[in-house]
Every structure is written in C-alpha cells, then in structure tokens.
Amino acid sequence: MSSVIEDVVARKLFNSRGEETLEIDIITTDGFGRASAPAGASKGKAEVISYPEGGVDKAIEKVEELVAPELIGMDAEEQKEIDALLHEIDGTENFGNIGGNTVFAISLATAEAAATSYGTPLFQHLSGYLANELPFPLGNVLGGGKHALGKTTDIQEYLVIPLKAHSFAEAAKANIIVHQKIGAALRKKDKNFTGGRGDEGAWAPNIKNEEALKIVVNACEEVSAELGIECRAGLDVAASSFWSPKQKVYVYSMEGTQRDSGEQLEFMLRLIEDYNLAYVEDPFHEEDYESFAELTKKVKRCLICGDDLFVTNRERLIQGIKICAGNSIIIKTNQVGTLTDAGETTRLAKRARYVPVMAHRSGETTDTHISHLAVAFSCPVIKTGVLHGERVAKINELIRIEETIGNRAQMAIF
C-alpha cells in the first residue's frame, strides 16, 4: 500500500516570533507530509497543553520513544484511527503528556502524507472533489494588546473583511490596500509614527481604541468605493486579556477607564452599530457565556465569534449553543490537538448554524495547512493576517487552490 507509514521524524525549528517549535515529517511508501506547530500569545485557559514539561526537546523525545514506534506500519489514510491512537498514547484529557502541539503536527503531517501518497491536494483528500468554496479573508490591519509592545490599543486586533469580492485573489488584494491606506493615515496623523507592527503584521500605533477604529473604517470605506466591493471592519477584542476577575471589570489602560460587564455590553453594542462592524471576536472574557448570548440577540449582520470562549472544544461549544452564546466560532486545530477533534467541532458548529472561522495563531510558521482546512471544512471565513511572510504564505496557497477549483468564493455569510 502506497500510504503505509515508514518513518516519523521530529525536529525543532522557529516560529515567526523566534520561539522554538516542533515540526513533524511523516514518510509513507509513496508520499510525504510535513507540518509545524504554531503558538498563540493570548491563549484560552481551556486550550490543551502545548508541550510537555521540558518543552520542544521533551516533545521530540516522546515522539521518538512513544509515538513513532506505534505509527510506523499504520496506513496514513486511517486518520481517525491514528488520531484516536494519539489520544490513547497521551492518556490525558488535555494532551499534558506528549503535548497538543506535538499531536497537532503529527495529525496534520499524517493527513498530508496520505494525500501526497495518491497525488491529491490536501483539501481534496479531506473533503473529496466536491470542495468548491473559498473563504473570505479576515485580515488583521491594526492592533495592540498581547500582539504588540509598548503603548498600543487595548483592543487586540482591528480587522477587515471584503464581503462582496468576486474572487479570493481580489479579496486578498482589497485587504492589502486597506492595510496600506491605514499606514498612510497613521503617518499623516502622527509624524513620529515609525511604522511599527505587531506579531501578525498589523500596524501598532500609539493611539486610542476608538480613534483607531475610525481610521480602519475610513480605509474600508475608501477601498469599497474604489473597488466596488463591500469592505467592512471587525474587532478581536481579546477581552480576557484585560478582564480583572478580582474587580470584575475590564481595565482599558490606554483610555484609563474601567467597564463592568453591563458597560462592556453597551460599549460593544455601540461600536457595532456606529461603525457597521461585520465581526466581533471575544468581546467578553472566556467564561461569560451570558454576555455573549445577550450581545448576539441584539445585533444583526454581525458575527459574534468565540475564540477563548470555545477554544475549538466541542463541549464548550455545546454549552454556548444551549444559550445561543455567539453565532460564530474560531477553529484552531492546535487548541484541541487532532484534525479529527477540530473537524468534529466544525461540523457541530455548522449544524447549529454557527459560522466557523479557520484561524492562524500569532506565532506562526510558513506552514499552509490551514488554507486547505478552510476549504476542506467549508469555512466561510479564514483569519490569516494580511502581511508578513508567514501570513502571505497562507494567502498565496489559497490563490493556488482557487486556480485549482475555479472562482467559486462563498458569498453568503449573513
């Protein structure tokens, strides 16, 4: 059989922040798969453990001693069986033994090895030849929080999404133009702005939260008029990162203000209405399902998305579905470990009419698997940055996929 696993190789390399990370090669009789693990800066508390105690070095040791002997001789096409075996080998609920990033890299490399064994692109291997929808790119164009240094916005990400682009390539170009216009506006506003950027290539200026939003919205409106498409702004608030559990308030350091849960709800609602936002991620801290539900009830044509709230975890999503907390979910495979786990959460989300958003992490590699996963899982949106090589790698891969399946970008989110 051409997809029988013959070797498993683990190595240490570096991500976009210069942090050590893990890469896995899976070699089959006729194929080869390689995947490297990303890392988040603002992580949800319920995410799986990234690496065992001892970090990447210990993870490599465990791959060589525990995992590789079990995988060699198995068929890479048996994705569910291999992912189940990884759970069994680890023996914990949060991959505390061999590490969630270890499992992630093995699971993705296995899928790619199976695909290349038969000369098939990964997205088609996972979903068949009926995969024919491309996601809209949701791009980070300005921000601060845990993704930047110094005096920047409390809100972590200011985003743009070109909702009525005619192709993925056109949508990606629109995001780049918005990014450029924002840079020009920031330089005009502040002669001392040095062009600093955060982890994901977004501008990182010394500017107040709402002032920043106005600049992003203006740039979106200009590009909409120039290209004849609908570019709208969004936010990743990452509210858990400035929630004070002792005081029970959101501490906005840049503004010098604090907001309790009710005031935060009203603030988010006003921003959505005043700026016609298309997307708001993590507007409340990661355990406040009720506020997510309340905001969702009060808005129209806006995705209220949970990242830290759900962490791609099926059980947490079920809890949210019960009270309609949000209407969208971030999908980050390394938050739960295996491809099978992420696929199950995505399918559950779609059955409950939650919009799944395939997403990168702030610490990335040039790995392009999430581009294929977005298409394979029929995610209407991919959140993968605008600029920086590790972000552009994923955008360029989607342009190649578009060339393969034709211009069939999904057009209906709301």
**Which residues are catalytic, by number?**
200, 332
Q: Report DSSP letters for 274-334, one per residue.
A: HHT-SEEE--S-TT-HHHHHHHHHH-SS-EEEESTTTTT-HHHHHHHHHTT--SEEEE-HH
- Contact (CB, 8 A) for 131 and 398: no
- Collapsing DSSP states into helix, strand and coil, what is residue 118? coil
Return d(Cα 11, Cα 59) in angstroms, integer: 10
Measured CA to CA, the distance from residue 368 to residue 360 in angstroms comes to 10
Residue 409 and residue 387: Cα distance in Å, rounded?
21
Distance CA(236)–CA(42), nearest Å, equals: 11
Helix, strand or coil for residue 236?
A: strand
Token pair listed for 174 = 């629109």
Number of residues written out for the chain: 414
Phi, psi of 245 (to 5 degrees): -65, -25
Residue with tokens 């991620």: 281
CA 157, CA 233: separation in Å to the nearest integer? 11
Which is nearest to 280 in space by CA: 260, 315, 309, 245? 309
The number of angstroms, rounded, from the C-alpha of 5 to the middle of its chain's C-alpha atoms is 29
Place of tokens 């909409």: 224
Contact yes or no for 362/42 (Cβ under 8 A) = yes
Give the other-Cβ count within 10 Å of 130's Cβ: 9
